Structure formats: structure tokens, C-alpha cells
Chains A and B, each alone.
Chain A
Amino acid sequence: MATSQIIAALAHHPFLDGLQPNHLDKLAMLACEISFEPDQVIFREGDPSSFFYLILSGRVAIEVAAPGRFLTIQTIGGGEELGWSSLLDQVNKQFRARCVEPVCALAFDGPRLTAEFENDHEFGYMLLRKVLATVAERLRATRLQMLDVYARKSGKGESGQ
């Protein structure tokens, strides 16, 4: 993918909505196009956090190992980001990321990206705000998931929906 195509892909990526053109250019310089096959593991639990991904297409399952199986906690698709922990210092991956469909993404080396944040605080602030919004959205979603709102009700309150 040529740099101009990468800039175009970044400009249309929902995660980066509203980012200034000079920041998109900076990201484009650090981006590397990458593809994954179905069932390919992008990272495993315990791996050092290295890459931050912007998913362009496809779907990735975030999984946690349980005795004898993996449980899918969440799926992430085109227009979303993956691997935000690579933007934090000394954090290992907490989950496994496995492709359930062919995935096309833009990958960014976490340490290089955070070094750029140090050089350009405005760039770092704008991007980390977007990361924080994603983290907050996923926290809210996880809390809702934990409520198990679709669970069976007792007979006392049975009704028609």
C-alpha cells in the first residue's frame, strides 16, 4: 500500500475521525500494512505488548484461555483498534487475539508511536484521547455484558417478552 493510500485509509478510519491532517501524515509514516489469515493468532496472552493495530476489514476475537478451551470475550472488526496496551509502558498482553475472518490492518510499533507522542505532545494527546474513549466504551460494554441481561427470569415475573 503506497503512502497516499495509507493516508486515505487513515482518513476514512472511524477511530481517527476528526484527527488533523498533519497528525494523519505522522501516523502514515509509522504505519505498516499487514494481513492475517482466519484462525491466525495476532498475539497471545503474556506476549510483550508491541504493536497497535487499526483494523481495516475482517474480524478478530479477543479470547481468554480457560481449562481445555478458549472463551471469546469480544470481537473487534473493521473501523476499530486493537492492542491499545502497546501504548502503555511495560504491559504484557492480557488476552489472545485470533482472526475469525481474513483481516487487513495497519500496524504501528508501540514504542515508536509513544516516542512520537513524547516528541509531539499535541499529537500524543489527541491520539490518547481516542484510545481512552475506546477503553471507556469497552469498559461500559463489559459491565453490561457482566449484567447478563438476557438471563432467564424467575417464574414470579414471567411475561411475554
Chain B
Amino acid sequence: MSLLAAPPATVKRPIMQPAVGRVLQVVKETHDTFTLNIEPPPGDPVARFRPGQFSMLYVHGVGELPISISGDPECHDYLTYTIRSVGQVTYQLVTRQPGECIGLRGPFGTAWPLTEARGKSLLIVAGGIGLAPLRPAIYHVLRHRGDYNRLVVLYGGRSPRDLLYRKEFAAWGMLPDTQTLATVDYGGVSWRGHVGVVTAMFRHVRMQPDETVAMLCGPEIMMRYAGRELESRGIPASRIFLSMERNMKCAVGFCGHCQMGPYFVCKDGPVFPFTQIKPYLDLYEL
């Protein structure tokens, strides 16, 4: 089955009714970003997701938000979410204590095309917190390393203190046939890595465009320029995939909040082929 197809309807409860998850652990990743491990109810299908999908996380009495799943897709004991505290609901999510409850709906949306990418090299381009939705795909590739050729992970951030999963990222770069490069817009005095936009890293990548699948997630402007640049470097738009972000509410295509042209990002995305979404990327109204 295509990994880009809609997930099977295995949820038994009404789709708008959240399961009650329990916070197991909250890990501080950066000054404003935290990773939560949440245990779903035993046997609940909410925990079975494919890389790139998201859940709706509900803080009782505060609000509900779409949050990409950032953990290992083959771990069904708990779900992992990396959340940047930027507003009331995200603040309430990251300040939960172990043992407290959070509502969970999902998983929703399309996934990264990992089945189609078998036998090819993967170029993963992440910006800011966009590394979180890509991390399950990286875990999948590392678990099934023989199914893929080269793995390259490019990561751009605002500053060194904003980079996620730094130890893990460095460890990935030590693995065979794997290249990782991080760059920041503002390097501090102690930063000895790259400074500049993530697209400037493409020149340092060692891979063949004709057998490469690219997966991008980050700020929309970054993805737009990165997509164009990858096309100019020989990767066809049909093999470039983007994870889009919109203000999702229902997550199942009822409400229309996340509409982008003819698509609902919640059910037709969030992962789209560049060919499909490109015409809508530079429209002001969308």
C-alpha cells in the first residue's frame, strides 16, 4: 500500500472524540521547545502512526492543536511530540507534568513516501521545528537501512541554541552512508559550524539527483526556495515532498480551516508532492 494513501479507519470511537493520554515525560529540547512522551489508552489505535502524520492534542478547557508526531513509528507504547511554546495551548502542553492527562485524536493525514523511496537515496531538509515531523522518517530509514541508499539530513535553524536533538543529530552523522549538516542564520562566538541558509548546504551534499527523493519540512518560504533549488539541481518535482502547515481544526476535512486551493491540508496533506502544491505556494491569499 502506498504510504501516501489515507490511513486505514481503525479508530473505534467517534472521530471527534479524543482518547485520554497520560504524560509520561517532558524533556526540554531548547529554551522554548519541549518533547512530550504520552501514553495512549492500552490497545488504542491512536498510537499506530506512519512517519509524517499528526495528532490533535487537546488540553482540557484550553484548546486543541495539530501536533506532528516526532517519535519512533515502531514504538507503540507511547507517542512523542516536540512542541514549541508559542501561545496559550502550546504553553499549557509543554508545562504538563508526568501523570497529567491530554486528549489525543488521530493519527491524521498523509505520510512521507518511504515505500516509494525504497532503493533510492533520501535527502531530508528541515528548518527550525520542521525536524520534528521528519524524525520518524529518519528513524524508519535507520531501522530499515538496507532498503535505502544514502541518507542526507540538512538542518537549518535560527541560532545554535534553537537546534533540536543536537546529540542525536551528531550521532546520525557518524553512521555509514549518512551525511548530516546543520547551519544557522546567526552563529554565536562559540559556533564553529555553518552559517547561512539551508539551501546553501546543497552544494556540500554528495548524492545523485536522478536517484534521490527529497523530503522537506520547515517554514513555507524555506521550503519554497529549497524546492526550486532542488529542481534546478536535477531532482524532479515529483520526487520532492513537502509537509505543509495550516491552521487545522477538525483534522478530517469537515471545517475547511486548513484549505489550500482545492486541498485540505489535514486530510490531503500534510505531506504533498511538490508538483501538487507548488501552484499554491506563492499565492498571497492562501
Check if A and B associate: yes
- Mark A residues whose CB is within 8 Å of B: 14, 59, 61, 69-75, 77-80, 100-101, 137, 140-141, 144-145, 147-161
Bound complex: CA A59 to CA B194 (Å)? 8
Known contacts A74-B195, A80-B203, A150 near B217 by CB under 8 Å: no
Most A CB atoms within 10 A — which of B132, B187, B248? B187
> What are 10 A-B pairs at a CB distance below 8 A?
A14-B203, A69-B189, A75-B194, A79-B204, A141-B199, A145-B185, A149-B219, A150-B185, A159-B245, A161-B217
Interface secondary structure of A, over-half rule: mixed
| Contact indicator per residue, chain B 126-140, by CB within 8 Å of chain A (1) or not (0) | 011110110000000
Within 8 A of A (CB), among B162-188: 162, 183, 185-187
| CB-defined contacts of B230 to chain A, threshold 8 Å | none
Per a CB cutoff under 8 Å, which of B187, B199, B219 touches A72? B187
A-B CB pair tally, cutoff 8 Å: 107
| CB-defined contacts of A149 to chain B, threshold 8 Å | 127-128, 218-219, 221-222
| CB-defined contacts of A72 to chain B, threshold 8 Å | 186-187, 191, 195
Bound complex: CA A61 to CA B148 (Å)? 35
Q: Is the CB of A152 within 8 A of B84?
A: yes
Bound complex: CA A79 to CA B84 (Å)? 36
Nearest CB of chain A from residue B244's CB, rounded to whole Å: 9
Nearest to A101 among chain B residues (CB) is B192
Known contacts A59-B194, A150-B219, A152-B86, A160 near B68 by CB under 8 Å: yes
| CB-defined contacts of A150 to chain B, threshold 8 Å | 127-128, 156-158, 162, 185, 218-219
Nearest to A38 among chain B residues (CB) is B192
Nearest CB of chain A from residue B63's CB, rounded to whole Å: 9
Per a CB cutoff under 8 Å, which of A77, A80, A141, A155 touches B86? A155
B210 close to chain A: CB less than 8 A: no
Bound complex: CA A159 to CA B67 (Å)? 7
Nearest to B189 among chain A residues (CB) is A69
Q: Is the CB of B247 within 8 A of A157?
A: yes
Q: Count residues on chain B whose CB falls below 8 Å from chain A CBs.
A: 52
Bound complex: CA A33 to CA B214 (Å)? 37
Q: Is the CB of A161 within 8 A of B243?
A: yes
| CB-defined contacts of B183 to chain A, threshold 8 Å | 75
9 residue pairs, one from A and one from B, having the closest CB atoms: A155-B87, A160-B67, A158-B87, A150-B158, A149-B219, A150-B128, A72-B187, A161-B245, A72-B195
| CB-defined contacts of A59 to chain B, threshold 8 Å | 194
Bound complex: CA A88 to CA B32 (Å)? 45
Nearest CB of chain B from residue A19's CB, rounded to whole Å: 17
Q: Is the CB of A151 within 8 A of B65?
A: no
Per a CB cutoff under 8 Å, which of A78, A151, A158 touches B158? A151
B3 close to chain A: CB less than 8 A: no
Most A CB atoms within 10 A — which of B32, B57, B203? B203
| Contact indicator per residue, chain B 78-113, by CB within 8 Å of chain A (1) or not (0) | 000101101111100000000000000000000000
Q: Is the CB of A75 within 8 A of B197?
A: no
Q: Identify 13 new A-B residue pairs, CB closer than 8 A, beyond the known A141-B199, A151-B158, A160-B57.
A: A71-B186, A73-B195, A75-B183, A137-B200, A141-B197, A141-B200, A144-B222, A148-B185, A158-B88, A159-B245, A160-B54, A160-B66, A161-B132
Bound complex: CA A161 to CA B86 (Å)? 11
| CB-defined contacts of B195 to chain A, threshold 8 Å | 61, 72-75
Bound complex: CA A154 to CA B195 (Å)? 26
Known contacts A59-B194, A75-B196, A150-B156, A159 near B247 by CB under 8 Å: yes
